[in-house]
Structure 1
């Protein structure tokens, strides 16, 4: 019996493994158990960390090194990928949580100013379309820092973190229309990892800020500050109305406005359009064509949870695989997703590396090794033994 063709397509395991490292560990484990199988490695991204690396490996183009500000205003190296007249930037390279030590993680004061510098760098390099990957941020400032870097207001007022947006006034965003006009010749594209709005129970502050270091009290204060900022923007630039219903199209309520701590909101203000980060990457890597020659897909990410159901790699891979009749299984670091939810998302099986709390320390100490070992056991279930 010939071996199966296995497509290994994980996201990064945030804080422990890049997507490429995760794919290599999975392949190593699978190969130990089923050396007769054909393995095809396709590291992926949903717009978060690894976005530029994944696209550069598949699209070619030219990578330009730039220096921008990190979430606390320090210089940090970053990259702009230019393919033809399209520029790709990764917000996590300037605003990523991984750029901060645990003691520095405080989304009340971190800024997205560096992401605006990345976008401007792509434009300066001649990009007519700029695709901004959103995800993995350590910020919660509604993209105010990005706006300041692109000529709206001043860094002294808008690049001080989300909490101080409670002091914003009309003068701080008076340059928004000028910035929109200047950028109207650029096709700004949001490649977003989540579809959350800016505000509310499913918004940036309520759902994500505590993961970035905010206390429950700080999360509430951030919600209030971002709401104030959005109301100031709405007074200066009243939202357009839907031509059919006449209702206001409020940018803070748009899907993806809450991505990366509200970066999506700021980009919507500048006229950007949103696409699924996963879908954009899957198209760029020719995932459909790869599926056509595969028998099984193995994917994974650090934590499989309810957020995974809203624009993350694992579910995007499973959905794409289902259209080709190819089973998709997930090997995440951890999973709190119920079997019914996983099956509804098209995932044929979930095999977390950490199944019991006692296993967590070992997994963090040797993420590649423990992932590979878990995949060894998974391969025994999913790969038929050769005969003859």
Structure 2
């Protein structure tokens, strides 16, 4: 039996590569006769660069950038030359990731995306004419204002002090945005996102993702108003874009993915960016569908398999690709928070949780490799024919 093991990272505990290796070890414990292909994946969030660097020939350029609270942290830009085009891949979580913050530092009213702007500047310095930005796993909610400030769109004191400060920003806070757009006019700027949420509203960045980053309901509402003010400043600065097919005005804050990574998607749209599915970009880059040929089963996973996993995440992308190939797929996750009815539409044949009780959750956090390995071994008993 040929099994493809293709998980995302288990956020906060295991990288995608570590998760794949733990699953493979457990599977081998039960079914050593099976052939295993390990293919760690990402949807644009943490681990995006590591996954791509395994699949493409390129140069990893080390840089130093600011984290969400202004500390210097190491990061990288992956530069790939192909067919006469230079592409730079950037992982926004390396500069704006929630994992960079301690529990008492998680305050999306104050955190900034300044460091992501530094990553884009580094990509431009490498001569890239195509820049792919992986969005996901952020600890910020500033609409990408910090990114724009780092690139020269406006003063740091108005744009790089977190989402809350945008409420008091003046009308001319983005006085350099037009010139910045011209600088990016010759760059194919790609947003690789795991979500399609807009910037504002009940499905927007503040309402949906703010609480995950430490925002209380009151702070989330405050951030919603601040981002609304930010869009007003944009409207006073930029001409209203129009749809090329209909000629109708386009609201960039309503574009799918504008709310990704706390509104980083919106800032990239302002620079002329276009959105693609992060997981689909990764699946295409690593040749996932080619790997499925001749396989019998696909195993994927992530830290928490919940309702968000069903839209744009690795598990959903893997399951859909497996369904297209006529293969069964199963999910092994730290926790499973959706039922059979929700997963059937994706063609998922089974979901298995590493931890189902509070005691098991504690054990998984203490020994993520061992507990994931043990769960994979039990799943293999179900799916691998005894020899």
Q: CA contact under 8 A between 1:162 and 1:222: conserved in structure 2?
A: yes
Q: CA contact under 8 A between 2:93 and 2:136: conserved in structure 1?
A: yes
Determine the structure 2 residue equivalent to 1:138.
139
| Backbone CA RMSD of aligned residues | 1.0
Determine the structure 1 residue equivalent to 2:21.
24
What secondary structure sits across from 1:39 in the alignment?
strand
Determine the structure 2 residue equivalent to 1:252.
253
Distance 1:169 1:348 in 2: 54
Distance 2:23 2:250 in 1: 45
Q: CA contact under 8 A between 1:7 and 1:291: conserved in structure 2?
A: yes
What secondary structure sits across from 1:173 in the alignment?
coil
Cα distance, 1:240 vs structure 2 = 1.7
Distance 2:245 2:129 in 1: 31
Determine the structure 1 residue equivalent to 2:3.
6
Cα distance, 1:245 vs structure 2 = 4.4
Distance 2:164 2:310 in 1: 29
Corresponding residue to 1:35 among 23, 32, 43:
32
> Which 5+ residue runs of structure 2 have no aligned equivalent?
none
Cα distance, 1:325 vs structure 2 = 0.5
Cα distance, 1:348 vs structure 2 = 1.1
Distance 1:283 1:230 in 2: 34
What secondary structure sits across from 2:343 in the alignment?
helix
Q: Go from structure 1 to structure 2 and tell me whether the alpha carbon gap of 1:270 and 1:164 turns closer, same or farther (over 3 Å shift).
A: same
Distance 2:369 2:294 in 1: 27
Corresponding residue to 2:50 among 43, 49, 53:
53
Distance 2:155 2:346 in 1: 44
Distance 1:176 1:335 in 2: 44
Distance 2:239 2:323 in 1: 43
Distance 1:344 1:336 in 2: 16
Q: Go from structure 1 to structure 2 and tell me whether the alpha carbon gap of 1:43 and 1:243 turns closer, same or farther (over 3 Å shift).
A: closer
What secondary structure sits across from 2:298 in the alignment?
strand
Q: CA contact under 8 A between 2:95 and 2:113: conserved in structure 1?
A: yes
Q: CA contact under 8 A between 1:24 and 1:41: conserved in structure 2?
A: yes
> Which 5+ residue runs of structure 1 have no aligned equivalent?
none
Corresponding residue to 1:65 among 45, 62, 66:
62
Cα distance, 1:173 vs structure 2 = 1.1
Q: CA contact under 8 A between 2:166 and 2:230: conserved in structure 1?
A: yes
Q: TM-score, normalised by structure 2?
A: 0.97
What secondary structure sits across from 2:61 in the alignment?
strand
Paired residues, number: 383
Which is further off, 221-230 or 166-175? 166-175
Which is further off, 162-171 or 267-276? 162-171
Cα distance, 1:60 vs structure 2 = 2.0
Cα distance, 1:356 vs structure 2 = 2.2
Q: CA contact under 8 A between 2:173 and 2:233: conserved in structure 1?
A: no
Q: CA contact under 8 A between 2:178 and 2:237: conserved in structure 1?
A: no
Q: CA contact under 8 A between 1:315 and 1:346: conserved in structure 2?
A: no
What secondary structure sits across from 1:181 in the alignment?
helix
